[in-house]
Amino acid sequence: MTVRTPAVVPGIPPEQPAPQPVAEPDARRKKRRDPRRTRWLDRAGWYEPRETGARSTTRQAEALNLALSSPPTTHRGLILGTDRLSGQLVCHDPFIAYDDKLVSAPNVAVIGDVGKGKSSLLKTWGTLRQLLLSGRRVVVLDKKTQAGQGEYTRLARAVGAPSIRFTVDGTGSRLNLLDPVISLGEAGKQAGRPTGQMMLLRAVLAEALGREVSEREGKALRIALFAATGDAKERDRVPVIGDIVHHLINPAGEAARSIGVPAAELREWGFDPAFALERMIEEDLAGLVDGETSPDVQLDHPSGLVHFDLSALPIEGPALRIVMTVINTWQTNMLARRSQQLMQTVNIVEEGWHVAEGALGKVFQRNTKLARGLGLATMAGFHHVSDLPAESAARSLLQEAETVFIFGQSLRSDALACVDLYDLPSGTEDTIMGLGRGSFLAKIGTEAPLLVQHIRSQAEIQLTETDDAMTGRR
């Protein structure tokens, strides 16, 4: 048989042979060769082709997150904790908030049951973090006892600050009622001026007498104050309470003639005040206010922290209230003299209910009203609103505070009292009763309340824990 070969023409490719059919593999071989798809992997999209991601930047990708929530507060201030709803940081500082027109006064109230975290907040945000700001000073009135000393002693040691300890046995520090730092006479009655020596003496004497000072007793006291001050100046020393007692019992004849009464009558006006003051400085206030101010009582420590340890003073009797009020008065007068230095001071009062009643409470309240002019923020802690009489100075501190932190309240009546006092939305009492340790409701000015979880660093936890006596560990 003859086989014909196709002709090859230059420039034209030769014809290709026709493709031959390929036999299909049998069904058994095809099933064995193809991978088996698992049902649950198929549902998870394992076998779907993966799309290659597109490169972008953080700024461009912002548009992809359409559910961004606005921050609960601005970044200006010190960290309080995290918002329980959004997880974002909550920052606040009373002085910065005043500058931002969020509040009209810098005072702060912290309310809550024992063990809910009030002290931890005051020690961290109110004390340690305040010291981080340039020029900021913190003064602590520490009444709570821990291992035989004030609760803030460990914190004070950590920052290198001494503890100024007051005791009734004469071994502690003294703060003179007639310290020259405190203005003389009735100057404290003038608007915008701190309480003076005369108003402070009247308050202390009212505590000693158990009643208000009468007009004649007040006149005798005023004459004795100026006589004691003038006599001490001539002797080149500082007047003390003992000088007041002496001039009440032995008034000068010239002073009596100046008001048109015999010296014997003026002496009679001063008998009760003299004996009451004498008893107080020999018994209740022995070693506390009966001498010149101790050198360690000052506001100039380089650490910025001043720790007044009041834990050794008895709760019963007037000693604690008087010392707290004298400290507050001495401090406000000191700050008034330094007002041109534009220094900001935080005053921590852990147990605010101690200044709830009497003339001393009114003096404390009056001094706190000068906060804006003195650059002073008072941060006071309270257990329950219902513990405080409606007309008390402590209740006024609660009402006037525009920064309020409400921790858990176990009783509905206490939670409702907070809702009523700060005009919180109806139903907030259930939230307050359900707050755990370290959680609180923050009410800042007219802003809506925030649910905040307080956060602490490891170092802050070690400095603020107060369970040593219960756990047996430091």
Residues 427-466 have pLDDT tens digits of: 999 999 999 999 999 999 999 999 999 999 999 998 887 6
Predicted confidence at residue 12, as pLDDT, reads 52
Residue 171 CB neighbours (<10 A) = 10
Which DSSP letter does residue 105 get?
-
Q: How far apart are CA 51 and CA 301, in angstroms?
A: 65
Report the amino acid identity of residue 297. Answer: V
Chain mean position to CA 316: 26
Under the banding of pLDDT at 50, 70 and 90, the label for residue 284 is confident
Q: How far apart are CA 138 and CA 156, in angstroms?
A: 11
Length of the chain: 474
433 with 409: CB under 8 angstroms?
A: yes
Predicted confidence at residue 285, as pLDDT, reads 85
pTM: 0.80
Residues 266-276 have pLDDT tens digits of: 999 999 999 99
β strands within 40-97, DSSP E: 78-83, 89-92
Q: How far apart are CA 406 and CA 186, in angstroms?
A: 38
What pairing do the DSSP bridges indicate for beta strands 439-444 and 450-454? Answer: antiparallel
For the chain, the C-alpha Rg in angstroms (whole number) is: 37
Evaluate if residue 33 carries a pLDDT over 80: no
CATH 3.40.50.300 fits 69-164+304-469, yes or no: yes
Residues 6 or more apart in contact with residue 377 via CB below 8 angstroms? 94, 95, 106, 107, 108, 344, 345, 346, 347, 371
Residues 167-195 have pLDDT tens digits of: 988 788 999 999 998 987 554 455 456 77
Evaluate if residue 246 carries a pLDDT over 50: yes
Q: How far apart are CA 8 and CA 11, in angstroms?
A: 9
Query: 26 by DSSP, 3-state: which?
Result: coil
277 with 208: CB under 8 angstroms?
A: yes
Q: What is the mean pLDDT of the chain?
A: 84
Evaluate if residue 357 carries a pLDDT over 70: no
